[in-house]
Amino acid sequence: MKKWLALFLVVVMGFALFACSDKKATETPSASPSASGSSTPASPAGDDYFSRDPYTISYVYGNSAPINIGFIQALEEFGRRMNFTVKATGADFDPARVLEIIQTDIDLGVDGFLINVMSETYPRQHEMLMEAGIPYINVMGPYFDDQGRNMAPAVAFDGYKSGVDLTNWWLANYTTYFGDVELSSIGYMVVTFTVALEFTQRSDGALDTFRSLHPELESNLFYVDLTNFSMDIAFDSVAATMSGNANITNWVIFGVAEDFAVGANRAVETLNRVDSCMVLTTGNDVSFEEWGNNATPQLVALVPVWKTSMMGTSAEGIIALIEGTETVDTLWSSRRAPTDFATLFYVDTEVVTRDTYRDFIARINTEFGIT
């Protein structure tokens, strides 16, 4: 428990701002061209970044959750390589504060914006930046209009596909961890927070996949919709679900956000169920640190929301827009869904384990020129 209480202080309890747009949660992003192809775009300005004065890029984000800390660190690294400085400002989940930061940075004359905030501000921030003539890219949360069309360039994570991939992975590998256990004795618990579209897409991908493959095991599905974005609430909900279903001998628990997996891991350890549980998530530095410390053996696989691919793609895109080598219409246009006004660029995703995550990090970093 002390370990997880310490980790709680590191992982800021807050919405990681996988922004909740107004696009219907039942739509699967993998269906559009935006969701396919290589995650590494061509460098928009070649290697000649230092033949000009440095640009200033404003990164506006929701809160200081670990995902944003990692994103800022990665963006600063790309700034050193691509000759731009980063002005990073958190908004503490306050929509009015988001618009205030944007207006301040417009007045300061920044060259471009990367914005990772709540969806309430999308229409107004879009108007402000179009009026100012300053390019921007949404990070994690695309801006969809009321007809489901993406309105501004965005770099995002394909949540639905992550749910599909993790479900297929554990169905193919559970005997490695559980031994000769019947699938009918395994409960599949999906822990989500439906206020956020991104989380709903992840849980939908998991549930749809399991149901399509094993419709006869509907009673083995356990859908846990948290009342708030909280590791403590995740802990309580997972522990209660496990304790209330004694007929389930083994559990696979998919925490669709890393914070939920932290709560699930605490519950598994508190209930002395480490050997009979597998925990899955969409993770980042927190989970990688756990694996590096040989901790939480029940955390067996995740799909990374990896800072290098997210920020590398975003940095290359915003520099291209600032330089004028690309426009909103041409940027990543081969990946655009036919009805969208701008491209939603889904970075490639894959399942990694504690045995493969270091190779994954090294490969992605190499693709983006980080050694």
What are the residue ranges spanned by the domains of the chain? 2-157+306-349, 159-302
Among 16, 72, 59, 85, smallest CA distance to 307 is for 72
Q: Which of 26-35, 60-69, 180-189, 225-234 has the lowest mean pLDDT?
A: 26-35
The pLDDT of 154-176, averaged and rounded, is 96
Q: Is the predicted pLDDT of residue 195 greater than 90, yes or no?
A: no
What mean pLDDT is reported for the chain?
A: 88
The dihedral through the CA atoms of 330, 335, 336, 342 has a sign that is negative
Phi, psi of 230 (to 5 degrees): -155, 130
Q: Which of 140-144, 148-152, 211-215 has the lowest mean pLDDT?
A: 140-144
Q: What is the pLDDT of residue 12?
A: 37
Q: How confident is the model at residue 47 (pLDDT cuts 50, 70, 90)?
A: low
Q: What is the pLDDT of residue 31?
A: 35
The pLDDT of 324-335, averaged and rounded, is 97
Architecture of domain 2-157+306-349: 3-Layer(aba) Sandwich (3.40)
Q: Is the predicted pLDDT of residue 113 greater than 70, yes or no?
A: yes
Q: Is the predicted pLDDT of residue 167 greater than 90, yes or no?
A: yes
List the CATH code of the domain at 159-302. 3.40.50.2300
Q: What is the pLDDT of residue 16?
A: 39
Q: Identical fold at 2-157+306-349 and 159-302?
A: yes
Q: Is the predicted pLDDT of residue 13 greater than 70, yes or no?
A: no
More confident position, 312 or 64 = 312
Q: How many CB atoms lie within 10 A of CB 369?
A: 14
Alpha-carbon distance of 316 to 263, in angstroms, equals 35
Q: How confident is the model at residue 265 (pLDDT cuts 50, 70, 90)?
A: very high
